[in-house]
Amino acid sequence: MVSPVEQAQALTPAAVEAAYALIRPYVHRTPLLTCRTLDTIASTPQSPESLVGTPFEGQTPARPRFRFFFKCENLQRIGAFKARGAFHALLRLIEERGEDEVKRRGVITHSSGNHAQALALAASTLHVPAYIVMPHISTSSKIAGTRSYGAEIIFSGSTSVEREAVVAEIQAKTNAILVPPYDDFNIICGQGTTGLELEAQYTEQVGSRALDAVITPVGGGGLNSGVATFFSDKSTRVFGAEPIFEGADDCRRGLQAGERVAKVSTLTIADGLRTPVGLLNWQVISNKRKVEGVFAVTEEQIMAAMRLVFERMKVVVEPSAVVGLAVCLFDEGFRRRVEQEGGDNGWDVAVVFSGGNTTLEAVAKLFG
């Protein structure tokens, strides 16, 4: 069996480009939007009061200059970037094992909702049976979306350990082939096409100037490691963002300790980010030449960022999607880095909105 270290060495920009060529007929080229209002808000120093209780208490707040470019994967098929990885993984599976075997056995995965819908869509499109293990507390719209593509849903507990146990039970009965939600070479390459696309769109908008930074959410790490793989031979810096609630910032803590955190049990409102970083994903994210840092934000900061996107951009996003923007708005350490390295010119920062699968009821509950 090929080790995660060996697989990580094969994760190259060329592998992401090959993935894009394969999935392009099946996915949307999502918009790259700008918002001068959010540029202004993020470029305004935080109040001294907001730094009380942080390592920056009593210091002059940073004055970074941001120009945002929002990659709207909330407008991707099924409402999230996960469609990219699911289509790529399933198409490669059919290439490797043959269409007859894959259709006979079917595929299985576990997911809180976005990968669930993505694999269900890919399987429906390519006429493959799909079994999806979902936590019973998944958002109702994600459950309905998954079911609408004809997948068979099996409910489980909310932690990755509980989900994986149910997957093993179903596999024993059906012999279905596992398509992991994030810890997989082909999934990572598919998610990395988000970076390929946004760089091309950025160049169309601003010309030959290099993008300064990209920040993505980190749950299992498929999106972040894929985007970092694409940008690994470029000057663009890649960062990750997580919720801090109930230890959901496993990637950040793991980087600080120098060792991957294997288990996470959290009910953060960013439900797509409740899983630990995968083994292969960790090999990429823990490489400082590929990912320069991972930051974490509170539930209140996630909600504040979500409100701004709803009210100022008129864009529907789920909580997981805005953790990167929340870092730019509230993490004083990150903001100081932008100020110091960007100087008077500031940074052009691409923020990946990973998904928009929420409901009116869920939004009302958050803000009611």
Left, alpha or beta for 256 (phi > 0: left; psi -120 to 50: alpha)?
alpha
Burial profile 236-267: b = 16 or more Cβ within 10 angstroms, e = fewer: bbbbbbbbbbebbbbbbbbbeeeebbeebebe
Tokens of 200: 């091309």
Active-site residue, selected from the candidate residues 111, 112, 320, 354: 112
Q: Specify which residues 296 forms β-bridges with.
A: 242
How, if at all, do strands 152-156 and 177-178 pair?
unpaired
Per DSSP, 311 falls in state I
CA atoms lying within 13 Å on the CB side of residue 66: 33
Nearest CA to 272 out of 45, 113, 149, 92 is that of 113
Please, is 189 exposed, middle or buried when counting C-beta atoms within 10 Å of its C-beta (0-12, 13-18, 19+)? Answer: buried
The closest of 93, 280, 311 to 182, measured between CA atoms, is 280
Q: Which of 71, 82, 142, 290 is catalytic?
A: 82
127 in helix, strand or coil?
coil
CB 292 within 8 A of CB 284: no
Q: How many whole angstroms separate alpha carbon 66 and alpha carbon 43?
A: 6
Catalytic, 112? Answer: yes
| Catalytic residue ranges | 82, 112
